[in-house]
Amino acid sequence: MNLLNKIEILDFMRKSVAPSLSAIKKKNIRNQEKTKEMNQILDVLRNSLFEEIDMYYNNEVHYPNKTAAAFLVYYCWVIVSLECRNTLWNYESMDLSRRSGELWESLLKQCWSYPVFNTVKRFIAPDFMDVAEGIKSAFNNKLHNKQIEANIVREISTEYSTMWSILGDSINLNSDELFETTFNEHGNLEVSDKKYIIDFKGSYGSNEKGNKERLLTVARIYNLLNKYNLTDKEFNCILAVRTVEAGGHNYLRQLESSKLWSVLRGNEVYEMIFEFTGFDILSFVKEKDLQIMKDLNEETAEYMKSKITSKQNKTFADHYLTWW
């Protein structure tokens, strides 16, 4: 099978899962259990193809093709995954909203798993308790350096620790993608040598107030690490949004005006990925004619075009499955 041929990959995947899909559909079990069983089979299939990719493109000379193969295989897996789930039981708006966001994000992350450039590498999010102690210690050192009376320093430090306690002890500083840029041996990196925290959102709507507050909290903590020079490279937070729903602009504006998050929308997200990883998604999509509604089987495509979202008054196809 040609790992850069969409038709061949889709055909192979569909034929591979067809017997299992038919058998699972007939089982007298809950729909959620059917989905779980089907997803396990799909995951095994996807992983086997990625093992082929790793074996075939094991020479760094072929790395651009390795990235392309990984992206294409994952895209085809997304298509077949949507088909299988909708065959077992039809998507409703809430389920598809969540699932489409997950699939879009996981597809884009292949560009960091198999980057064209060797100037990006992932890092692990710092532990919140370690970060909090580091920031508090840096704050206290700053107080001591100002030659303030010891009793006043203790009083301020106590109040400062009390304010930190409001956050609790379990703030998750992880995000959808964390990576740092590094200069390669030729020193020709065009982007800044920094650490980046990316949060992907398939859509950003009027119900995102809680998420906005979480994002601001996380970014403020990373900003404090920058302020107190507690990082080897400056942290930068990026919110990558596929589509913005009516009513969602206000929260995005608040995030942008905070200067803590850089907000990218639509094609800006793909341009950012190209800049950092070297993989041009939009050109590849055009080259391989990757259109979700065109690539879905007829039954699933017709269903997605017939169902209308309650809030946006758009078809499932237009609102959830138009990615570029």
304 exposed, middle or buried (CB, 10 Å; 0-12, 13-18, 19+)?
Answer: buried
> How many percent of the chain have pLDDT more than 90?
73
User: What number is the average pLDDT over the span 226-230?
Assistant: 95
- Burial of 168-200, coded b for 16+ CB within 10 Å and e otherwise, reads eeeeebebebbbbbeeeeeeeeeeeeebbbbbb
Rg value, the chain, Cα? 23
Q: What is the pTM of this model?
A: 0.91
Judge contact between 189 and 126, C-beta under 8 A. no
Residues 214 and 225: their CA atoms lie apart, in Å, by: 17
Residue 290: how many CB atoms within 10 A of its CB?
A: 21
User: What number is the average pLDDT over the span 77-100?
Assistant: 97
**3-state secondary structure at position 122:** strand
When comparing pLDDT for 209 and 98, which is higher? 98
Structure confidence at residue 247 as a pLDDT band (50, 70, 90): low
223 exposed, middle or buried (CB, 10 Å; 0-12, 13-18, 19+)?
Answer: middle
Report the pLDDT value the prediction gives residue 249, as an integer from 0 to 100.
74
Tell which residue, 278, 276, 212, has the closest CA to residue 241.
212
Structure confidence at residue 186 as a pLDDT band (50, 70, 90): very low
